[in-house]
Amino acid sequence: MARVNDHYLKLRASYLFSETGRRVREFQAAHPDAKLIRLGIGDVTQPLPAAVIHAMHEAVDEMARAETFRGYPPETGWDFLVEAIARHDYGERGIKLAPDEIVVSDGAKSDTGNIQEIFGPDCVVALSDPVYPAYLDVTVMGGRAGNADANGRYDRVVYLPCTAENNFQPHLPDRPVDLIYLCYPNNPTGAVLTRAALKTWVDYARERNAVILYDAAYEAYIRDGEIPHSIYEIEGAREAAIEFRSFSKTAGFTGTRCAYTVVPKELQGRSGSGEAVSLNALWVRRQSTKFNGVAYVIQRGAAATYTDEGRRQVKGLVDHYMDNARIIRDGLEAAGLTVHGGRNAPYIWVKTPGRLSSWDFFDKLLNEAHVVGTPGAGFGPSGEGYVRLTAFGARAAAEEAVERIKTRVAL
Amino acid sequence: MARVNDHYLKLRASYLFSETGRRVREFQAAHPDAKLIRLGIGDVTQPLPAAVIHAMHEAVDEMARAETFRGYPPETGWDFLVEAIARHDYGERGIKLAPDEIVVSDGAKSDTGNIQEIFGPDCVVALSDPVYPAYLDVTVMGGRAGNADANGRYDRVVYLPCTAENNFQPHLPDRPVDLIYLCYPNNPTGAVLTRAALKTWVDYARERNAVILYDAAYEAYIRDGEIPHSIYEIEGAREAAIEFRSFSKTAGFTGTRCAYTVVPKELQGRSGSGEAVSLNALWVRRQSTKFNGVAYVIQRGAAATYTDEGRRQVKGLVDHYMDNARIIRDGLEAAGLTVHGGRNAPYIWVKTPGRLSSWDFFDKLLNEAHVVGTPGAGFGPSGEGYVRLTAFGARAAAEEAVERIKTRVAL
């Protein structure tokens, strides 16, 4: 039989969401009348903005006529979308990007995973702890994680703990690393990095020749004017960072699939023979060989988020979720809980009361309030002692969840 | 600087389409009034079927209301699409597939490339010559090709020549291989494999523990009732083959992006410690970790190709292109040229007259008939002496191209 990629066999079963799912199903079977409020999964619930709907209908009609039909898209994105991204997401913040530094794709999950492919197998990866689980899984699958111990910690990964003690801002690595995943606003903690903190990372990466893989999928949720939306707001970042963005959480595209990745021309890696190699050229080559671009109809929908009407509607969506976040955060604080995040991010990171474990507090919320969260320990050891709640539900659900936690949960 | 994937540096520049593009631009600059007919690129030109358009409009409207909005799709495809594929593409041919053996994706190019990731780095890859260039490029990028000689032939790839002498049906490899890319109906030669020939390959793969990567993207173009549409029509193939299918050439989805891959449960690879490993489980894990599914609107469009109306319209599209193929084939034969393919495939593989090289005949067609083809040598050494023409244009273009070749080209 053909040999398989043995690194895949080092993956741990994706315990977190299967185990929460199992507990929820068991609870539901025992309490069929209980009306659950699901604040566990980070999926949006509000419809697509009207401007996006309108643009997609128009684009579908274009595909119905030979004169306006579109075949293969440019593998890195249609000009109309790439130019809108450069102008609005970057130009308006004073960041100048060339159109061919922006590569449109079907999702930040695809890109943050596939990006490792352009790097050598020996690159050392640094991950925050807690962390979005896919970053770790793709590191394992690419053979860069090494072997796991009994607690699921891999011996080649450099973990960067994010705890209340360091205000959920990781310290710089204590040994050499090549690739550093940073996600801000953060999933799961809801933390953000100040300009000064982000500059520390950019300076570190430049000095040590590391590459920052900056996941800015939640940048639209930033309220504080002092917090950078893009890593390229920091001087020198063009030589140090790849940035990932998505329309998923901004414009409700989780089921519509469009994202993009920025790889500046200055950014370089090193070949085995010591030569500098453009990472932009490698990423474009990867995408044009193993990907065929995003559907025309979808790209037209994404571009509509940059019209005046689209921008108003996107802002309305984000405001809606951030009002949920405020309601949850304020409500839980009023109930006496310690709460992080939720100010510049759609995630609320709730300290478990009375030294309860993540899973025990998850069970308590489920059993007493019929509210589903996600145990922080599932995102990594430093997530122990927390539960993540998301703001992506309906308003009534956020209000009802808070009311139930206040009145039904013995804290 | 972070080390890059050195295998990428072994890729040859994609000379073929950049060089044809350069020659076309140069000709057009010198002859601004010449009306070119482009039969070079394999992209469709006819609009999406009305049933697809209707379904996509409906799905866009569903995304406009909270009650019917869809968030993250199942990573391997919505049930309605997977079940339609199982029932129509396979069930109606007597092939029984479980829904979780079918994995929906954004394209066969993505899947035929990414599939190598679930295999070990030492797997030996067999490719036909001539070949769809992406199979070779992904083999190089994955480190399985070895080094190229001056002619661009890689020392670890096992090339399988397909020539008029063997009726464009490759012989079995003369040394052990692990992964065998087969594409039938074939791009670029337009050849098909009989049931008996395909059985030889399945038997070989089972005996030698190789895996066939069977690209059936053009199966809808098969007219001959004796030619298998799926490799699973062959006994034992469930233990020997992964099959790739696409809506691109069937339903005009090149700009709409939907495809799927079948990995049967029986299909196994071997771990380093000698244990059998399910390739289905590895592929599902790959896709659910590095991909987030296909847009709901797109999947609804794809599913509409299986309605009675959709099937009639898809058949109309394929018939249209196959009529073009017949017109081109018959016309060139009448002009005295030797022509292969075009009977069960949208590609016509034209022997160059008078021992002209591929590039010389390409130039001759361009200069004398203002018709753009693709030089066969660009698909591999055994493509020397051929030019590929595609049937994906408008009817008038096919007719005019034939007329010009007949009357203007000195053969």
The CATH code of the domain that includes A263 is: 3.40.640.10
B238 is a domain residue? yes
Distance CA A137, CA B291 (A): 12
CB contact under 8 A, A60 and B50: no
Q: Are residues B61 and B207 in the same domain?
A: yes
Q: What is the pLDDT of residue A12?
A: 84
The secondary structure of A196-231 as a DSSP string is HHHHHHHHHHHHHT-EEEEE-TTGGG---TTS-SSG
- Minimal Cα–Cα distance from B225 to chain A, Å? 30
Q: B324, B391 in Cβ contact below 8 A?
A: yes
Could you tell me the residue range of the domain that residue B313 belongs to?
6-47+309-408
Q: Are residues A213 and A317 in the same domain?
A: no
**pLDDT tens digits, B99-155:** 999 999 999 999 999 999 999 999 999 999 999 999 999 999 999 999 999 888 999
> Which value, in Å, is the radius of gyration of the alpha carbons in chain A?
22
Q: Which residues of B touch A282 (CB under 8 A)?
A: 4-5, 8
Q: Which residues of B touch A210 (CB under 8 A)?
A: 2
Q: A60, A297 in Cβ contact below 8 A?
A: yes
Unique residue bearing structure tokens 């390959």? B201
Residue of A122, A290, A295 lying closest to B114 (CB–CB): A290
pLDDT over threshold 80, residue B13:
no
Of B315, B391, B319, B317, residue with least CA distance to A69 = B317
- Minimal Cα–Cα distance from B3 to chain A, Å? 5
B316 at the A interface (CB within 8 A)? Answer: no
- Minimal Cα–Cα distance from A50 to chain B, Å? 7
Q: Are residues A360 and A291 in the same domain?
A: no
CB contact under 8 A, A4 and B279: yes
Q: Which residues pair with A386 in a beta bridge?
A: A351
A8 at the B interface (CB within 8 A)? Answer: yes
What is the CATH classification number for the domain harbouring A43?
A: 3.90.1150.10
B151 at the A interface (CB within 8 A)? Answer: no
Q: Positive or negative, the Cα torsion across A20, A21, A24, A30? A: negative
Residue of A48, A65, A70 lying closest to B63 (CB–CB): A48
Q: Are residues A154 and A231 in the same domain?
A: yes
Distance CA A387, CA A378 (A): 9
CB contact under 8 A, A4 and B282: yes
In B, residues 173-202, which contact A (CB 8 Å cutoff)? 178-179
Q: B253, A60 in Cβ contact below 8 A?
A: no
Average pLDDT, chain B: 96
Closest-approach residue (CA) in chain A for B135: A289
Task: Please tell me the total number of residues recorded for chain A in this structure.
Answer: 411
Q: A245, A274 in Cβ contact below 8 A?
A: no
A1 is a domain residue? no
Q: Are residues B302 and B313 in the same domain?
A: no
Q: Are residues B91 and B162 in the same domain?
A: yes
pLDDT over threshold 90, residue B397:
yes
A217 at the B interface (CB within 8 A)? Answer: no
Query: Residue A118 corresponds to which tokens in the numbers above?
Result: 């352009």
Last residue of a domain, one of A306, A325, A342: A306
B296 confidence band (pLDDT: 50, 70, 90): very high
Distance CA A46, CA B349 (A): 52
Unique residue bearing structure tokens 């414009």? A251
Instruction: Compute how many other C-beta atoms are within 10 angstroms of the C-beta atom of residue B13.
Output: 8
B95 alpha-carbon distance from chain centroid: 22
The domain tally of chain B equals 2
A143 is a domain residue? yes
Q: Are residues A261 and A384 in the same domain?
A: no
* Cα distances (angstroms) measured from residue B18 to each of A178, B15, B41, B378: 34, 5, 12, 11
Q: Which residues of B touch A269 (CB under 8 A)?
A: 1-4
Last residue of a domain, one of A247, A275, A306: A306
CB contact under 8 A, B53 and A64: yes
- Write the ipTM: 0.97
A4 at the B interface (CB within 8 A)? Answer: yes
Q: What is the pLDDT of residue A151?
A: 83
Q: What is the pLDDT of residue A15?
A: 73
Q: Are residues A153 and A165 in the same domain?
A: yes
**0.95 surpassed by pTM:** yes
Cβ partners under 8 Å of residue A237, min gap 6 = A202, A212, A231, A264
Q: Are residues B290 and B341 in the same domain?
A: no
Closest-approach residue (CA) in chain B for A256: B295
Distance CA B79, CA B57 (A): 20
Cβ partners under 8 Å of residue A7, min gap 6 = A140, A141, A142, A143, A145
pLDDT (mean) for B172-180: 97
A13 is a domain residue? yes
Distance CA B350, CA B388 (A): 6
In B, residues 322-361, which contact A (CB 8 Å cutoff)? none
Residue of B5, B61, B64 lying closest to A119 (CB–CB): B5
Q: Which residues of B touch A65 (CB under 8 A)?
A: 47
- Minimal Cα–Cα distance from B334 to chain A, Å? 30
A378 is a domain residue? yes
Q: Positive or negative, the Cα torsion across A253, A254, A256, A259? A: positive
B224 is a domain residue? yes
CB contact under 8 A, B113 and A290: yes
A12 is a domain residue? yes
The secondary structure of A4-57 as a DSSP string is B-GGGGGPPP-HHHHHHHHHHHHHHHH-TT---EE-SS----SPPPHHHHHHHH
Of A174, A171, A138, A177, residue with least CA distance to A156 = A177
Residue of B5, B120, B292 lying closest to A4 (CB–CB): B120
At B341, is the secondary structure helix, strand, or coil?
strand
Q: Are residues B303 and B316 in the same domain?
A: no
Q: Which residues of A touch B289 (CB under 8 A)?
A: 113, 134, 137-138, 141
B170 confidence band (pLDDT: 50, 70, 90): very high
Q: What is the pLDDT of residue A13?
A: 74
pLDDT tens per residue, chain A (411 residues)? 899 999 999 998 777 888 899 999 999 999 999 999 999 988 999 999 999 999 999 999 999 999 999 999 999 999 999 999 999 999 999 999 999 999 999 999 999 999 999 999 999 999 999 999 999 999 999 999 999 998 889 999 999 999 999 999 999 999 999 999 999 999 999 999 999 999 999 999 999 999 999 999 999 999 999 999 999 999 999 999 999 999 999 999 999 999 999 999 999 999 999 999 999 999 999 999 999 999 999 999 999 999 999 999 999 999 999 999 999 999 999 999 999 999 999 999 999 999 999 999 999 999 999 999 999 999 999 999 999 999 999 999 999 999 999 999 988
B123 at the A interface (CB within 8 A)? Answer: yes
Q: Are residues B116 and B182 in the same domain?
A: yes
Q: Are residues B193 and B337 in the same domain?
A: no
Query: Residue A21 corresponds to which tokens in the numbers above?
Result: 């799912």
Q: What is the pLDDT of residue B16?
A: 84
B285 alpha-carbon distance from chain centroid: 24
B1 is a domain residue? no
Of A157, A155, A216, A159, residue with least CA distance to A182 = A216
pLDDT (mean) for B325-348: 97
Last residue of a domain, one of B262, B283, B307: B307
Distance CA A17, CA A43 (A): 13
CB contact under 8 A, A71 and B43: yes
The secondary structure of A77-139 as a DSSP string is --HHHHHHIIIIIIGGGT----GGGEEEES-HHHHHHHGGGGB-TT--EEEEES--HHHHHHH
B50 at the A interface (CB within 8 A)? Answer: yes
**pLDDT tens digits, B50-80:** 999 999 999 999 999 999 999 999 999 999 9
Q: What is the pLDDT of residue B150?
A: 86
pLDDT over threshold 80, residue B32:
yes
Q: What is the pLDDT of residue B28?
A: 96
Q: Which residues of A touch B255 (CB under 8 A)?
A: 63, 69-73, 295-296
Distance CA A335, CA A370 (A): 17
CB contact under 8 A, A269 and B65: no
Q: What is the DSSP letter of B96?
A: -
